[in-house]
Amino acid sequence: MTTFPPGFLWGSATASYQIEGAVAEDGRTPSIWDVFSHTPGKVLGDDTGDVADDHYHRYADDVALMARLGLQSYRFSVAWPRITPQVTADELGPVNPAGLAFYDRLVDALLAAGIAPAATLYHWDLPQALEDAGGWTDRRTAERFGEYAAVVAERLGDRLSMVITLNEPWCSAYLGYASGVHAPGRTEPAAALAAVHHLNLAHGLAASAVREAAPGTDVALTLNLGWFQPASGSAEDADAVRRVDGLQNRVFLDPALNGRYPADVLEDTAAVTDWSFVREGDLELIHQPLDALGLNYYFPVLVGRAAPGRAPERADGHGDEPASPWVAADDVEFPQLPGPYTDMGWPIDAEGMRALLVRLSQEHPGLPLYVTENGAAYGDGPGPDGAVHDEQRIAYLRGHLEAVAQAVEDGADVRGYFLWSLLDNFEWAYGYSKRFGIVHVDYDTQVRTPKDSAHWYAEVIRTGQLPG
């Protein structure tokens, strides 16, 4: 029987644009995902987050559902366009009382249900007005983000167990500005690297602001780190792994935790940018003490170097990109790994979870770790009995939770696990075609139906063990 340590925190996670809906209510202004999803052809089926799970109106019922499942913590994100809807590049603008009031109600409902609120300040819904002025390519966006973080922390910080500054800045920078498959949909490699730095800067400014406004709240950063394996034993493939590890992992880990950019990443990308957007003192601003680091992990990645004259294989789990997100790595390829696969087309290998947690604990000893996202998309729906029998999701979760337990046994200081996701929801460029939830959502009626995986997870939470 796999058993977790006493005090291990069990939670689930969502994100504002993916579940809230109510995109034009109570003063909220458009985000980049509102504009992107309303641009024909950008999202599968031209789906939008206009209604999503209607969580904005149904949050009380959703919190009651969390309580029935026994969740100990709930990770949600705050929609920046609700908080300072008139923000410009040069001024944060007035705070919107109605926007803050929604998160007040949500946090209070969670606390009343005995559920610890963990808030992510940025899960990709940048105010469109800031993108119009340059978005994450512009330093002022980071500066405004620091100010916005202070507003949220001053209002909610006394009741939050954790504040996570950014969710997966790799996606924001590279999928938003290099491959263009995420909002704002730009395909500019140099802009993507500028976005990397300004997201790092935003993290540092926000971490400092939260610590000042709410000193009793833990401050964390969530990264989607890649577990990269070489396609062969060749030196070329090993170097390809080094390069993509630098672009996805170390370019975020090193500034936040070590106060520097990796020298090899700067060298690898020198033909794309001279990194002159990094100003004196920036790395000190980014390198803020952290109370925890969040890891999001879903799938492994095989990496190799394409033979001269051959187009690289692109099977890296991010869909059919019109352009590669891998800046300055045009000759790196990602061969398809053998199945089984989730509905996202992602291969399954839980060893990556264990390996990354152990790596982080060895490279950054003393830093508490949380799995802030992990889960699988499968298309299970209600059967004739009205229940959702999602055995594949249960198998996926079991394997990955076993990997977390093994990482703890191997010495990693893993404090908790947030399953992605509580609810089926808007899955970004895939629209509503992919279902990650342990609770099925009928998008026509908004009826929530806990799947078998929800009941299985509730038992894990209750016992602190994986059922036999």
Residue pLDDT, tens place only, 33-70 = 999 999 999 999 999 999 999 999 999 999 999 999 99
Segment 362-397, tens digit of pLDDT: 999 999 999 999 999 999 999 999 999 999 999 999
Q: Quick count: other Cβ atoms within 10 Å of Cβ 391?
A: 12
Confidence of residue 322 (pLDDT cuts 50, 70, 90): low
pLDDT at 312: 72
Confidence class for position 419, pLDDT limits 50, 70, 90:
very high
Q: Is the pLDDT of residue 321 over 80?
A: no
pLDDT single digits (tens) 94-152: 999 999 999 999 999 999 999 999 999 999 999 999 999 999 999 999 999 999 999 99
> What is the mean predicted confidence (pLDDT) over 270-288?
98
pLDDT computed for residue 344 by the predictor: 97
Instruction: Give DSSP secondary structure letters for 61-92.
Output: HHHHHHHHHT-SEEEEE--HHHHSTT--SS--
Report phi then psi at 326, rounded to 5: -90, 85
Euclidean distance between CA atoms 46 and 39, whole angstroms: 8
CATH 3.20.20.80 fits domain 9-463: yes
Q: How far is it between the farthest Cα atoms of the chain? A: 64
Q: Residue 316's pLDDT is what?
A: 46
Kindly list the domain boundaries of the chain, sorted by start residue.
Answer: 9-463
Catalytic residues: 168, 373
